[in-house]
Structures are given as structure tokens and as C-alpha cells.
Amino acid sequence: MRVRFFTLFILLYAASLFQCSTSEQQSKNLLVAASIPPLADFAEKIGGSYVRVFTIVPPGTNPHTFELTPGLMKKLSRADLLVFNGVGLEFWLDKVEDNLAGKKIVYAAKGLQILADDLERHAQGNPHVWLDPQNAIYMVKRIYGAFVDVDPAHKAYYEHNAAVLIKEIEVLDQDIMATVDSWSHKKFVCFHPAWAYFARRYGLEQAGVIEKRPGMQPSPGDIADIIKTVKNIGARVIFAEAQFPSQMAEVIAKDSGVKVIPLDPLGSQGQKSYIELMRYNVAQMSKGMK
């Protein structure tokens, strides 16, 4: 009986030591805040066991209308590194920049060639740069550089992880290129202009957009123009998005005699990574573009 008790005591003691060690390690890890799920995935892949990452804009939330809560602001104040897209996507930043003074911030899209926003939704240009995998590789490199700045002791570890992730995205890029080359349709209509960089990369044309400005329903004239565009390009589908209401897309699709297929530029359909997200979107697009 005493032997069993002693054995149980040793096991419980060892478990408590492991738990304390794990807790201590976690407390030493970098706390990283990333504005959107793709950037959070990059940060988690690069940082590995040396970081804790949380996403500011939750999956399924429209980043164009998102507002910071006091609770999120408190978490941001504790972060060691802030990873933002830039190009005006985080429109709420100017409201809280005083609270972030002194924080290490990396704008992952800084230095990329930014497409103009013809619909004037974003004064700084179209922010959806990550939907071109080549841009994603650039962003991975910038996030890696920020990790090294904050935690140079683990540079080799971060460098290895970044290299592995970049290779995976390069494979993804080639796979998408091969898939898109097989499509008979090269023009499409979507809910909002998230896919301009994707279209440019793969030789497609974003021929029409339903919502020209965030939160504003299209006018009857806009709807008529979209229906005309759908018919002119011979589209078989309209691409909606998980972060936006689909009712208007359904109405236009019905009047145009086409189907609605959802896409997801951010990650809210259960995808666990950027690569899974992109493969999901390409598979969805294939349903209407082959």
C-alpha cells in the first residue's frame, strides 16, 4: 500500500513539475497579435514553439467594418509583436495608435506593388494582397524579419520555419497555375474586389463587383450593370464571400440565370491554414470556371 502511495506521489509530483515547466515556457514565448487569419497562420508557422499568436479580426468577420473592443485593446497592449497587413485594411489603427506607441509593428504588405482601388473603397489601394501567393511569400519574409528583430536568439529556428513555409507556398502557387490554365473561363464576377491580385497573378479578369463600397447595397443601376456583365462574359456563377451577406448575390444570380458559389478570402470555412484556404478557393472557383 505504501509503495503504491509513494509511486502515485512521484507521478503527481512529476506531472506538476511538467505543468509548471510548460506554463513557464509559455509565459516566455512571444505574444504575437495578427490582424487577420492568414497573417496569424504565417506567424504561427514561423514562430512555432516560441510564440503564442492570437487573431485580432475573428474568422468570419468582415474586416472592413470590424471594430476593436476594450478586451482586444487590452490584449494588444500585452503583445510583443503586432502583425498588420497595412494598405488601410486595419482602418481602425489610427484610432488606437497612441495606445500602441513603442510596440514592435510589422506591416506585412509594405513594399509590395499595390493595385489601385478603382471603386475608391480604400484610399491607399486594394489591400487584399495575400491572395497572390507570391505576395504571401514576401509577407512571410517580412514577418520572419520582425521575429528576428524581437527575438534574435532564435533566428536560426525562425529562418528554418520560414524557409519551409515559403517552399510550401511555392508548391501551392505552381499547383494553382496549373489548375487555372485548365479553365475555359477567364473572367468572373464577385461580391467585392478581393480577388484582383489573384486575378493578376493567374491571368484572370475580375470583370464585375456587386458591392462597390463596404456596407452599401448596389443601386438598381448597379444591379442592371452586373447582370449585363454576367451575360456578356458568359459567366455560369457569381462568387459570393463568407464574410458578406449573400442575399444580393442570390438575387442577381437568379435574375442572371446563374449559380452562387461562396469563396473565402480570409478563412472562416474551417480551413486551418493559408494553404488550405487557397486550395479551398481554387476548388470552389473551378466549379464555375472550367
Q: Which three cell numbers stand for residue 173?
A: 502557387
The pLDDT assigned to 34 comes to: 96
Q: Tell me which long-range contacts 97-101 makes (C-beta under 8 A, separation of at least 24).
A: 99/73, 100/76
Burial-class residue 2 by CB neighbours within 10 Å (0-12, 13-18, 19+).
exposed
Helix (H, G, I), strand (E, B) or coil at 106: strand
- Choice among 93-97, 202-206, 230-234, 277-281 with the minimum mean pLDDT: 93-97
The pLDDT assigned to 13 comes to: 46
Mention every residue, 6+ apart, whose C-beta is less than 8 A from residue 66: 57, 92
The pLDDT assigned to 186 comes to: 95
- Choice among 22-31, 43-52, 70-79, 128-137 with the minimum mean pLDDT: 22-31
User: Contact 85/35 with Cβ under 8 angstroms?
Assistant: yes
Q: In the chain, pLDDT over 90 holds for what percent of residues?
A: 61
Picking from 269, 284, 273, the residue whose alpha carbon sits closest to that of residue 172 is: 273
The pLDDT assigned to 23 comes to: 45
Q: Is a pLDDT exceeding 50 seen at residue 270? A: yes
Beta-ladder partners of 237: 259
Q: How far apart are CA 122 and CA 244, in angstroms?
A: 17
Q: How far apart are CA 69 and CA 56, in angstroms?
A: 10
The pLDDT assigned to 164 comes to: 98
Q: How far apart are CA 121 and CA 91, in angstroms?
A: 11
- Compute the mean pLDDT over every residue in the chain, rounded to the nearest whole number: 86
The 10s digit of each residue's pLDDT in 154-163 is 999 999 999 9
Q: How confident is the model at residue 10 (pLDDT cuts 50, 70, 90)?
A: low
Question: What is the arithmetic mean of pLDDT over 159-188?
Answer: 97
Domains of the chain: 24-175 (3.40.50.1980), 179-289 (3.40.50.1980)
Question: What is the arithmetic mean of pLDDT over 193-221?
Answer: 87
- Choice among 2-6, 51-55, 73-77, 167-171 with the minimum mean pLDDT: 2-6
Picking from 189, 186, 238, the residue whose alpha carbon sits closest to that of residue 209 is: 189
Q: Is a pLDDT exceeding 70 seen at residue 199? A: yes
Q: How far apart are CA 255 and CA 251, in angstroms?
A: 6
Q: How far apart are CA 58 and CA 242, in angstroms?
A: 13
What residue has cell string 529562418? 159
User: Contact 230/252 with Cβ under 8 angstroms?
Assistant: yes
Question: What is the arithmetic mean of pLDDT over 25-47?
Answer: 89
- Give whole-number Cα distances, 32 to 81, 103, 156, 260, 267, in Å: 5, 11, 19, 37, 19
